[in-house]
Structure 1
């Protein structure tokens, strides 16, 4: 005869398992709706002749990819390389500046809360307003930066920062660094706060200098977190669009044309959705391949820290 307690325990296990699956259903549905389905839809579009008004007009196989990678599109591949340079440079600069600000925040005894609040201002500013503000600052006529440089005697006449190369791309980098360095600084500050206070205080009592405390104590203990911040910021930087659209619109020529802007222009200005979908797929694959060794290194640093 079966033990009633066994049946009750088995029923309870089944009930808990069913409840767990039911709780996962909303997440699974959202994942399918907002991630899996759009990915399949874009991949399917890339094999078709499609316009914005008439998607899936005809099946053309790999023709969009042959056009994209075979030399038919002379803009996308350079924009992909340009986006890579942009993402790597701004991520490295922002990590260095953000780390320096984070170290400063951890050393402050008074005014730390006020400084953290000030650091939030660029993050709270909409990207469009950031672009407009920097466009006014960099304007050749009446712009603050040109005015200051001329008053200091560093330049004899106004410089068209957004209309000449390489200044246009560098200007977008400067605007991006201004906008996102506080974000990196706050994350780096949270990482540095993970270092035990007694270890740092012991180093101070032993007469260690601030640089020695950082390089020999704080950095080794937070390297895996700082590396994770760098990877996160790198992924975000690849998606640059707003500043390019507001500041230069891809110009002068194609000097600031980066992947996100190129895809937008192909799909929403030229209305060639099939080719824009192929560009999107190639962009996603390229970024994934580029990030794979970085994610592997991140896991290694996390395992080492553990």
Structure 2
């Protein structure tokens, strides 16, 4: 009885913060709901069918998946390489490690504004460098180009969250048994061989877990898109989270927004379950 009393607050918080939103979204997805009048009438699978067959939703989910995998892969590779470099200079890199972690604590809105200035075609850092080292006329407006706008958002996203990968992998590297590395050195293994055959297998589970976390964060990106491009130009940066916001708060169609949310949840689950299983397996090997 006492155990139940101790865990009751945790269960209550879980119900309020997790179960209630899930029930609300599921209920809205199967009903005609607006922002002011939710659950007007039961519509069955109509919202889900309309969302699944909508070309804009399909394009957004496809782009969001490609974006998430690209950003997660880049962050994981850069973060792992940076963590290894910091680990090799662990005694002399305290200040550098602190500086590298700063982007992670900057609010996403500020990150979006900062990179918006960097990509600005009138006096931004990219424009200034192009004018300095290139003789090509005109300006290069990254965030106004349908092809490059999503790349600009991705660069800001990678800059913001790569330090998280650095932190996770660096912590795993510090937990290595130094005797194993010493034994590898005695056996004549060079730095590259030590990394590939000793260090990398040791932290492989952590790297996979970091990739999984980074992938989920990339699927959720909204702030950067809202601040930097507002989903444009056209629909070139209309990621799923932005599309959901637009359906709910601009078109006031909560039922459609809930249906897109469920489709996104199913997609993220299908994508992340195999990676989670791989990460678990690598950690136990």
Match of 1:151 in 2: 132
Which runs of no fewer than 5 residues in structure 1 stay unpaired?
1-17
1:118 maps to 2:99: yes
Which runs of no fewer than 5 residues in structure 2 stay unpaired?
none
Cα pair distance change 1:28/1:184, threshold 3 Å:
same
The CA deviation string for residues 26-56 of structure 1, in whole angstroms up to 9 with x for no partner, is 1111111111121011101111111111111
Match of 1:276 in 2: 257
Cα pair distance change 1:156/1:209, threshold 3 Å:
farther
Work out whether residues 145 and 233 of structure 2, in 8 Å CA contact, stay in contact via their aligned partners in 1: yes
Work out whether residues 191 and 226 of structure 1, in 8 Å CA contact, stay in contact via their aligned partners in 2: no
TM-score when normalising by structure 1: 0.89
Q: CA deviation at 1:157?
A: 2.5
Match of 1:66 in 2: 49
Task: Pick one of 169, 175, 189 that aligns with 1:208.
Answer: 189
- Between the aligned partners of 1:59 and 1:230, the Cα distance in structure 2 is 40
- Between the aligned partners of 2:107 and 2:156, the Cα distance in structure 1 is 13
- Between the aligned partners of 1:299 and 1:202, the Cα distance in structure 2 is 27
In structure 1, the residue corresponding to 2:213 is in which secondary structure?
helix
Q: CA deviation at 1:199?
A: 1.7
- Between the aligned partners of 2:259 and 2:148, the Cα distance in structure 1 is 31
Q: Which of 185-194 and 203-212 deviates more?
A: 203-212
1:49 maps to 2:32: yes
TM-score when normalising by structure 2: 0.96
Q: CA deviation at 1:165?
A: 2.5
Cα pair distance change 1:290/1:154, threshold 3 Å:
farther
Alignment of 1:199-238 (within 5 A): 199-238=180-219
Match of 1:91 in 2: 72
- Between the aligned partners of 1:203 and 1:298, the Cα distance in structure 2 is 26
Cα pair distance change 1:171/1:155, threshold 3 Å:
farther
Alignment of 1:250-289 (within 5 A): 250-289=231-270
Instruction: Tell me the number of residue pairs that the alignment of Structure 1 and Structure 2 aligns.
Output: 285
Q: CA deviation at 1:204?
A: 3.7
Q: CA deviation at 1:236?
A: 1.1
Work out whether residues 266 and 276 of structure 1, in 8 Å CA contact, stay in contact via their aligned partners in 2: yes
Q: Which of 293-302 and 49-58 deviates more?
A: 293-302
- Determine which structure has more spread, i.e. the larger CA radius of gyration: 1
Work out whether residues 162 and 248 of structure 1, in 8 Å CA contact, stay in contact via their aligned partners in 2: yes
Match of 1:299 in 2: 280
Q: CA deviation at 1:178?
A: 0.8
